[in-house]
Amino acid sequence: MPESVFAPWNDASQKPLIRFRNVTKSFGDFTAIDDLTLDIYEQEFFALLGPSGCGKTTMMRMLAGFETPTSGVIELAGQDIAPVPPNKRAVNMMFQSYALFPHLSVYENIAFGLRRGNMPKQDIDDRVSEMLKLTRLEKFARRKPHQISGGQRQRVALARSLAKAPKLLLLDEPLGALDAKLRQATQFELMDIQEKTGTTFVIVTHDQEEAMTVASRVAVMDEGRIMQVATPEHIYEVPESVYVADFIGDVNIIKGAASPVGEQTYQIKWSKTAAPLNAVSDRPFSEGQSCHLAIRPEKVGIHADRPADADNAVQGTILDIAYLGNISTYHVELPGGQIVKAQTANTRRVSRRSFTWEDTVWLSWTATAGVLLAQ
């Protein structure tokens, strides 16, 4: 699904499938969701990303109907869903524990939801077969949940929640119980199924890589509030706050004071001795306003000599080298104690590596490499 085509959130004429309007949910003194407003569109693969306890699971359980908002309104296709009990909602959920019924076979698990309506037996049969085929479980239809592997159980849970063709599918940490390798394969499978069925998926996860891989948009949450909603690329390249920049991937944060030097260009005074840094920013800063420059380590170059035409160049000594196989991260200490990480791809063998501990090196980056943030 090319992002350039599918972007209903930029289209004012599109009606969102789900609207959270000023939703607050508290449990006693604890506020799990704090005055949250959010739109999710049809056919989106929407990820709620955040550390545990940030309220993402509560949002999902409110959509499923297991919790009711303390205040505010949640709309599904324009209808307030507060009075609709879970068993009457066109919303299905895939549980973190999968919640497969241990006393029922794979087939019966998938048919469970279909049998609750008055669907003819033949249609149920057809639908279950379709689901078994979609999730490649045909061979295991007669088995009980404990007779299949973890990955297969995950697919049964998915098939069961999709069987009723819900308007919205909720996935609570759907890959959390799988090991790393299987998880990667399953991520693509999940995207594939989402595309085939055209169902709107809302996934809850604490794994940023997973969210970045599968989602059309990601909402980064913290303490019951949404910090930023954007496409994965946008979240990574243009974070709106230090929190988001820091939460997604690795980042260098350099604190300083901004001073405008031209249209959207600023100088940042960050150290008493060193020269100010140059940066470009859409966000306006006034003279002397404190700011944070966020630069991803892979955008910082490392050199033996001062590069001639760099926008920014600073000198430091190598403190640590983290060798990760495909890449290496250099921790470089600048005069004044600031540590900046620089990442390079290991295109040469280790023995030919150019830098080692205690070496004095130059770091450089362009004026557009970093993002200037107020907070």
Partner 1 sequence: MKRLSWFNTTSLTLGFAFLYLPMIILVIYSFNESKLVTVWAGFSTKWYGELLQNEAFLDAAWVTLKVAVLSSTLATVLGTMAAYVLVRGGRFMGRTVFSGMIYAPLVMPEVITGLSLLLLFIGIGLDRGVLTIVLAHTTFAMCYVSVVVSSRLLTFDRSLEEAALDLGCTGFEAFRLVTLPIIAPAVISGWLLAFTLSLDDLVIASFTAGPSATTLPIKIFSAVRLGVSPEINALSTLMIAIVTFGVISASLVSKRNSLRQQRDEQAAARAE
Residues that bind partner 1 (CB under 8 A): 64-66, 85-88, 91-93, 95-97, 99, 101-103, 112-113, 116-117, 144, 146-152, 160-161, 164
Tell me whether residue 148 or residue 245 sits nearer to partner 1 (CB atom).
Answer: 148
CA distances from 28 to 31, 32, 60, 215 (A): 8, 10, 19, 33
| Residue that has been written with the tokens 């799988």 in this structure | 178
- Smallest separation (angstroms) from partner 1 to the CB of 192: 20
Min dist CB 62 to partner 1, Å, is 13
Nearer to partner 1, 47 or 91 (CB): 91
* Burial class, 76, CB count within 10 angstroms (exposed 0-12 / middle 13-18 / buried 19+): buried
Q: Which residues contact 282 (CB under 8 A, 6 or more apart)?
A: 264
Q: Given the complex with partner 1, which of 168 and 244 has the nearer CB atom?
A: 168
Complex with partner 1: residue 145 or 301, whichever CB lies closer: 145
Which one, 2 or 117, has the nearer CB to partner 1? 117
> Least separation, in Å, of the C-beta of 181 and partner 1?
11
| Tokens read off for 338 | 């600031």
**Which residue lies nearer to partner 1 by CB, 83 or 102?**
102
DSSP-derived secondary structure for 84-104: S-GGGSSEEEE-TT----TTS
DSSP state of 240: S
Q: For the chain, where are the alpha helices, taking DSSP H only? A: 56-64, 106-116, 121-134, 150-162, 180-197, 208-214, 232-237, 242-247
Q: How far is the CB of 240 from partner 1 (least distance, A)?
A: 34
**CB 155 to partner 1: min, Å:** 12
Between 148 and 373, name the residue whose CB sits nearer to partner 1.
148
Q: Which residue has the tokens 């107020």?
A: 374
Number of other CB atoms surrounding residue 247 within 10 Å: 20
CB of 119 to partner 1, least distance (A): 11
Q: 292: which strand partners? A: 255, 373
The rounded distance, in Å, linking the Cα atoms of 131 and 128 is: 5
The nearest distance, CB 120 to partner 1, in angstroms, is: 16
Cα 273–chain centre separation: 39
- Collapsing DSSP to helix, strand or coil, 294 comes out as strand
